[in-house]
Structure 1
Amino acid sequence: MQMYRCTKCGYVYNPKTGDQTQGIAPNTPFEDLPETWVCPRCNAPKSAFEPID
C-alpha cells in the first residue's frame, strides 16, 4: 500500500498501521481516509499530503 507524507511537517501516513489517534484502523488506504482526516502531528488537511515513491 502507498504511503503518504505531509508537506507541512513530514509526518508519514503508513496504511499498514493506520492512525490510532483518529480511530483509523490498520490496513486503511490513504484514499479511504475521510476528507475530515487531518495530520496527527500538525493538523494539516488531507490535501497537504503527497505520495512517497
Structure 2
Amino acid sequence: MKRYKCKVCSYIYDPENGEPRTKTPPGTAFEDLPEEWKCPKCGAAKFRFISI
C-alpha cells in the first residue's frame, strides 16, 4: 500500500501502521479513509496529502 505525506506539516500516513490518534486500524488504505479525515498532526484536510 502507498504511503501519503501531508503537504502542510510533512506527517506521513502509513497504512500498514494505521493511526491510533484517529482510531484508524492498521491495514486501512488512504483511499478508504473518510473524506472528513484530517491530518492528526496539523488538522489539514485529506486533499492536502500526496502519494509518496
- List, as ranges, runs of 4+ consecutive aligned residues in structure 1 with deviation greater than 2 Å: none
Residues 1:49 and 2:30 aligned together: no
Query: 2:14 is matched with which residue?
Result: 14
Report the TM-score, using the length of structure 2 for normalisation. Answer: 0.97
- C-alpha root-mean-square deviation of aligned residues, in Å? 0.4
Stretches of structure 1 lacking an aligned partner (at least 5 in a row): none
TM normalised by structure 1 equals 0.95
Q: d(CA) in 1 for partners of 2:43 and 2:29? A: 19
1:3 alignment counterpart: 3
Give 1:36 deviation, angstroms.
1.0
User: Unmatched 5+ residue regions in structure 2?
Assistant: none
Name the structure 2 match of 1:34.
34
Percent identity of equivalent pairs:
46
